[in-house]
Amino acid sequence: MKRILVTGGAGFIGSHLCTRLINEGHSVICLDNFFTGNRSNVWHLMPNPHFELVRHDVINPYIAEVDEIYNLACPASPIHYQHDAVKTVKTSVMGAINMLTLARQVGAKVLQASTSEVYGDPIVHPQTEVYWGNVNTIGIRSCYDEGKRCAETLFMDYYRQKRLIIKIIRIFNTYGPNMSMNDGRVISNFIVQALKNEDITLYGDGSQTRSFQYVDDLIEGMVRMMNTDDKFTGPVNIGNPNEFTIKQLAERIIELTGSKSRFIYKPLPSDDPRQRQPDISLAKEKLHWQPRVQLEEGLLSTIDYFKKII
């Protein structure tokens, strides 16, 4: 049994990770300030004596004797991370510093949940880990993009300077149960609109592309990354390389829900990436990982989840 700290553990992805770690027999401390996380996501874990839920903001230091740290804390959807841009930067940067400091104090291994947003609006396609990105440093998305980029820098500097055991993954668009209805992510938006037979909002002409991975595949990749050789730091892309236009996604969701929704079009938001697709060659080589759940299967599971909560 390992003692594992998960920051942002009551969020969409964090709750799935906590469940996986508890099911594997580990002791888990779930840290969350509940800005976007929700106690209901981990309520099923509360009776377990090896699970502990702590309300805490990673902007402030935290002390616990742990063997591993998964640093997931940060609002990840535009509607939330743009709500308080300064707080978003602080969460990424100060949160990284505080978790790296804790890892050094207790000798823990620490994983940073970074993002495909470090690539910005990419001019290299698909995106490989050696690509440095095309990010607007002063745009409305910069608080998240640059916050995560700075966190990666901090992790690598602690590795080089402090000899800390660190891991970095870059998460591409992820979906599945425990998503919030109002998180602003495209899949949750479309499913909720379709189930309510409301107009589905497309930005631009809907031709921008994304690659969507089911949350179970992401969690598998995260756990495998944490268990790699101590000398392997990443970063590693974790995503599904199957690429779809946003309009294709909306059409598929309408079909699967039997919705009567129609499309309405709005201007494309500032700095919205035109395309996004991971090159997962490194994940295949180092983690022996690749996604197993394809879009239709994952969408059906996610639609069933939203049917229960709407």
Residues in the chain: 310
Q: Which of 81, 144, 175, 214 is catalytic?
A: 144
Residue 188 CA to residue 81 CA, distance in Å, equals 16
Output the six-digit token pair for 196: 């309510």
Q: Is the dihedral of CA 132, 126, 119, 217 positive or negative?
A: negative
Provide the β-strand partners of residue 209: 245
Output the six-digit token pair for 308: 């229960």
Per the listing, tokens 């553990």 go with 9
Instruction: Report the interhelical angle of 186-195 vs 295-309 (nearest 10°).
Output: 60
The answer to whether the CB of 172 falls within 8 A of the CB of 126 is no
- 5-154-90 Cα angle (round to 5): 75
Is 144 an annotated catalytic residue? yes
Output the six-digit token pair for 32: 């969350």
Q: Is the dihedral of CA 79, 80, 81, 87 positive or negative?
A: positive
Q: Give the start-end residues of each E strand in 43-163.
A: 51-55, 68-71, 109-115
Residue 79 CA to residue 141 CA, distance in Å, equals 10
Name which of 212, 207, 204 is nearest 186 in CA terms: 212
Please give the positions annotated as active site.
Answer: 144
